């Protein structure tokens, strides 16, 4: 078996290879985390598939725990995990509750399918929130509109989605239809990792099943009276696609708070952020200040008050969450 091509199929590339010292190369082998269970992780490497303990030989902080998609070095004899290689990208969030521990959702994702359905789930503010997150994490976003078989106004949904960001890729599908879903396979090439993001019941698991050509992931019939699914997906796992891509359908990918997302906000709201730089006062709050470029743009009809309001909300949430974090001793990043 060709070991290098094995690793390449798993997503291995120069970004990870360059991190391995000659010393490590003698004692360790790289493996990718396929699934995380309690105390144990399933890993795959060159000619290797097994479970190993999830604790590391040495741990250096809150984010130094294996997440689905991570690349680890494990001892080639004892299979003891040694260290996590630097991540190309990381989805994480703070848990609710007093300790607000960081939950690691998925690592080393290339593309995110932002999934929403052509019905009451479709919500511009939520899409923008996911786009900000994708920009911040540094992954390519693709908006996937599902349940096109249940609406007569697919093009309205498509136009609304496409207007959110220049060049944004939008794909419309009946998630149960293999011919439709084939359009997505091209966006998840060999060795690439795609994560699915979206509310419960929009069809994430259905997409995975159709892409894989099987229905072995549990999907839930939508409750008729309120159209909401019942939070069906509960394991964190990578799914291999026939043509070689990887799909991550994880329970943590439904709702995200925005935190430390200045870059992501600036990408999705580039018009507003560049206007703000032209305000007369540097600390302008875009209220009643004189010389406010944002207010001028609203008055001139170049910026809608609704879009401004959505930006204000996300920016305020970002400021709130980023402040709490800075106050934390030993906070991350």
Ligand X SMILES: Nc1nc2c(ncn2[C@@H]2O[C@H](COP(=O)(O)OP(=O)(O)OP(=O)(O)O)[C@@H](O)[C@H]2O)c(=O)[nH]1
Query: Which part of the chain contacts ligand X (CB under 6 A), choosing from 32-40, 90-98, 145-153, 299-307?
Result: 145-153
- Cβ distance to Zn ion smaller for residue 5 or 280: 280
State the nearest-atom distance from the C-beta of 234 to Mg ion, in Å. 9
What mask of x and - would describe binding to ligand X in positions 7 to 46, judged by CB under 6 A? ----------------------------------------
Segment contacting ligand X by CB under 6 A, of 20-28, 33-41, 123-131, 199-207: 199-207
| Residue 222 within binding range of Zn ion, rule CB under 5 A | no
Site string for ligand X, 240-259 (x = CB under 6 A): --------------x-----
Which listed option, Mg ion, ligand X, Zn ion, none, makes contact with residue 110 (CB within 5 to 8 Å by class)?
none
Rounded Cα gap, residues 303 and 83, in angstroms: 48
Least separation, in Å, of the C-beta of 272 and Zn ion?
10
Return the closest-CA partner of residue 325 out of 257, 255, 253, 254.
Answer: 257
Contact of residue 313 among ligand X, Zn ion, Mg ion, none (CB under 5-8 Å per partner type): none
**Position among 210, 233, 250, 295 found at the interface with Mg ion (CB under 5 A):** 233
Question: In sequence order, what are the residues at sequence separation of 6 or more whose Cβ sits closer than 8 angstroms to the Cβ of residue 17?
Answer: none
Question: Residues interacting with ligand X, by CB under 6 A?
Answer: 146-147, 149-150, 174-176, 198, 200-206, 219-222, 229, 231-233, 254
């Amino acid at each position: 078996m060709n070991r290098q091509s094995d690793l390449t199929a798993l997503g291995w590339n120069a970004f990870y290879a360059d991190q391995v010292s000659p010393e490590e190369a003698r004692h360790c082998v790289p493996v990718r985390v396929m699934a995380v269970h309690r105390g144990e992780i399933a890993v795959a490497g060159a000619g290797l598939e097994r479970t190993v303990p999830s604790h590391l030989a040495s741990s250096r902080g809150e984010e130094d725990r294996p997440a689905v998609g991570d690349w680890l070095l494990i001892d080639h004899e004892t299979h003891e995990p040694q260290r996590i290689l630097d991540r190309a990208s990381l989805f994480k969030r703070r848990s609710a509750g007093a300790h607000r521990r960081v939950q690691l959702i998925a690592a080393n994702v290339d593309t995110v399918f932002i999934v929403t359905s052509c019905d009451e789930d479709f919500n511009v503010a939520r899409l923008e929130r996911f786009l900000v997150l994708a920009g911040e994490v540094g992954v390519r976003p693709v908006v996937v509109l599902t349940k096109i078989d249940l609406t007569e106004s697919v093009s309205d949904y498509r136009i609304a989605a496409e207007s959110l960001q220049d060049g944004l890729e939008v794909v419309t599908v009946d998630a149960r239809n293999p011919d439709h879903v084939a359009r997505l396979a091209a966006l998840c090439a060999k060795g690439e990792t795609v994560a699915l993001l979206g509310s419960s019941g929009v069809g994430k698991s259905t997409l995975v099943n159709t892409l894989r050509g099987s229905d072995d992931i549990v999907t839930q019939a939508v409750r008729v009276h309120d159209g909401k699914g019942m939070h069906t997906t509960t394991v964190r796992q990578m799914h291999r696609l026939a043509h070689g891509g990887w799909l991550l359908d994880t329970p943590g990918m439904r709702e995200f708070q925005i935190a430390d997302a200045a870059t992501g906000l600036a990408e999705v709201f580039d018009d507003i952020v560049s206007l703000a730089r032209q305000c007369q006062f540097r600390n302008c709050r875009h209220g009643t200040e004189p010389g406010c470029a944002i207010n001028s743009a609203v008055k001139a009809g170049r910026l809608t008050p609704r879009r401004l309001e959505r930006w204000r909300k996300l920016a305020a949430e970002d400021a709130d969450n980023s402040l709490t974090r800075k106050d934390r001793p030993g906070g991350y990043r």
